């Protein structure tokens, strides 16, 4: 009898456990923060359209925990005007956010928390332009510093429910990279991301 009661309690708890699945697409502006910068050299970021899936779990009234996976683009372009030489490097990482989100006014929310990123592959695409001649190649292997990243993020979002189990959401988030992603001695290279995200929410 006790085992039956425990089984019923477990079934009820599973039925009342709810969360949201949030498939999405986003515009990702990756911005390298590199120092020191040599004379005559400037660095630029690169835009990318990508996507991912987030999961949001309710905790208490107004507060939820969000995690999942997002495919972030990492890119930098160095322009050396002194020798007319440009180098652009691109690779991707799977980013896992862990965000505490607070909802207010029924449709707005803010969130903050850490994120951790891991290289989606072991190679990077490198394009160089020297005196008007373009060369594209693939790096055989990423450096150990470039294979992972971590930082903190802030988010501001809005959600519109269309039915009881389906809705739309938008999110603006900024990711501040804290890891030095270069092995070059005396150089710091950290990546920040500005994301404009849109997707759907499916309540389970």
Cα–chain center distance at 57:
19
For the chain, domain boundaries? 19-203
Closest CA to 74 of 92, 99, 100, 101: 92
- The model's pLDDT over 159-191, given as tens digits with 9 standing for 90+, comes to 999 999 999 999 999 999 999 988 888 889 899
What's the fold here for domain 19-203? Porin (2.40.160)
Q: Higher pLDDT residue, 85 or 164?
A: 164
- State the average pLDDT over residues 190-198: 96
Q: What is d(CA 185, CA 179) in angstroms, rounded to the nearest whole number?
A: 14
> How confident is the model over 48-77, as pLDDT tens digits?
999 999 999 999 989 999 999 999 998 877
**What was the pLDDT predicted at 3?**
56
pTM score of the predicted model: 0.84
3-state helix, strand, coil in the chain (%, to 5): 10, 70, 20
Burial class (CB in 10 A: 0-12, 13-18, 19+), 81: exposed
> What residues contact 105, with CB distance under 8 A and at least 6 apart?
none
């Amino acid at each position: 009898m006790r085992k039956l009661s425990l089984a019923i309690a477990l079934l009820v708890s599973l039925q009342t456990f709810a969360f949201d699945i949030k498939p999405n697409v986003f515009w990702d502006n990756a911005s390298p923060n590199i120092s020191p910068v040599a004379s005559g050299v400037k660095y630029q970021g690169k835009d990318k359209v990508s996507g991912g899936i987030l999961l949001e779990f309710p905790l208490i009234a107004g507060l939820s925990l969000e995690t999942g996976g997002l495919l972030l683009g990492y890119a930098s372009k160095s322009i050396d005007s002194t020798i007319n030489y440009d180098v652009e490097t691109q690779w991707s990482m799977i980013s896992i956010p862990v965000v505490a989100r607070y909802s207010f006014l029924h449709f707005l929310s803010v969130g903050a928390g850490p994120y951790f990123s891991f290289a989606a592959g072991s190679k990077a695409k490198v394009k160089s332009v020297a005196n008007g001649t373009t060369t594209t190649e693939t790096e055989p292997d990423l450096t150990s510093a470039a294979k992972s990243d971590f930082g903190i993020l802030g988010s501001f979002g809005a959600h519109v429910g269309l039915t009881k189990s389906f809705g739309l959401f938008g999110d603006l988030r900024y990711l501040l990279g804290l890891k030095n992603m270069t092995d070059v001695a005396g150089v710091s290279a950290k990546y920040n991301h500005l994301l404009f995200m849109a997707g759907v929410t499916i309540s389970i």
